[in-house]
Amino acid sequence: MAKHVKNIEAELIRQNTELKQEVHELKQTILLLEEQVAFLTKKIYGQSSERINSDQLSLFGQSGVFTEPEQTGNQSEETYQVITKIRSKKKTRKQTISPDLPVQDVLIPFDASQCPHGHSDWLIVGKKFVRQEVCYEPGRLYVKRIYIETGTCSECERQTGLTYMFQSQAPHGLLAHSPLSASLAAHVISDKFLLDLPLYRQQRALKQGGFNVSEGTLAN
């Protein structure tokens, strides 16, 4: 009976940790969406007399890449529809990652700070998948899969008679619920603003490299 109670307590602790993580990610997503809504509202309903300093550099201002479709004649129909019908229901853009891409597994280990009492006598019982990112290095794409360790503190169990489950903490992704990595974001921004490479051409190159993502998603 006591063992059963311990298992229930451990499961509740695990679920509580996961819920806190989900709440944090949802808050970050809400903040991002609020910023996008504020920008688009100002863009659509702002006074036409407003002017932007021509000397000011802005990711939103240069070439209008993030607010208007690129006038290349080759952009996808999906991107055009989303931008010209901005008030319509948001379309779901499916991203696919080729199974042939190289995979790098990263395990975030425990440290003593995970235990509230500072114990270091850990018993690792498994690992949990957190997310995967598409990363870029010159000449290739690869997938980074991030895991966190799950374990118990033996010293806490000896002192209290209860089993406490702990998880290591993984760093937050660049964007919530997105496989975008910092290296891939830097690559897209560099090609666009330093090399003037249109997004539709970047989209084709990424697709050939194993990551199929829409031009509209790249713009976002």
Q: Categorize the per-residue pLDDT at 8 as very low, low, confident or very high, splitting at 50, 70 and 90.
A: confident
Check: CB of residue 128 under 8 Å from CB of residue 139.
no
Alpha carbon distance 126, 164 (integer Å): 14
Report d(CA 177, CA 85) in Å as an integer. 24
CA gyration radius, the chain: 23
What span, in angstroms and rounded, lies between the C-alpha atoms of 80 and 219? 12
* Sign of the dihedral through C-alpha 12, 13, 19, 22: negative
Q: What is the mean pLDDT of the chain?
A: 76
- What's the pLDDT at 164? 74
User: How does residue 27 score in pLDDT terms, banded at 50, 70 and 90?
Assistant: confident
Give the tens place of pLDDT for each residue, 146-194. Answer: 998 888 877 777 787 777 777 888 888 888 888 999 999 999 999 999 9
Question: Could you tell me the residue ranges of all domains in the chain?
Answer: 2-47+55-219
- Could you report the per-residue pLDDT of 103-144, keeping only the tens digit for each? 999 988 876 555 666 666 667 788 889 899 999 998 899 999
Residue with tokens 């910023």: 35
Q: Which pLDDT score, from 0 to 100, does residue 48 have?
A: 46
| Confidence (pLDDT) at 147 | 92
Task: Find out whether 124 and 151 touch, Cβ atoms under 8 Å.
Answer: yes
Please state the rounded mean pLDDT for residues 49-59.
48
- pLDDT at residue 102, rounded to an integer: 93
The residues, any chain, with a CB within 8 Å of residue 56's CB and separated by 6 or more, are none
Q: Give the contacts of 74 (CB within 8 A, at least 6 positions apart).
A: 198, 200
pLDDT per position as a tens digit, 74-108: 555 444 444 444 454 555 567 888 898 999 999 88
Locate 74 and state its tokens.
């080759």
Among the listed residues 82, 58, 53, the one whose alpha carbon sits nearest the alpha carbon of residue 68: 82
Average the pLDDT over 42-53 and give the result. 56
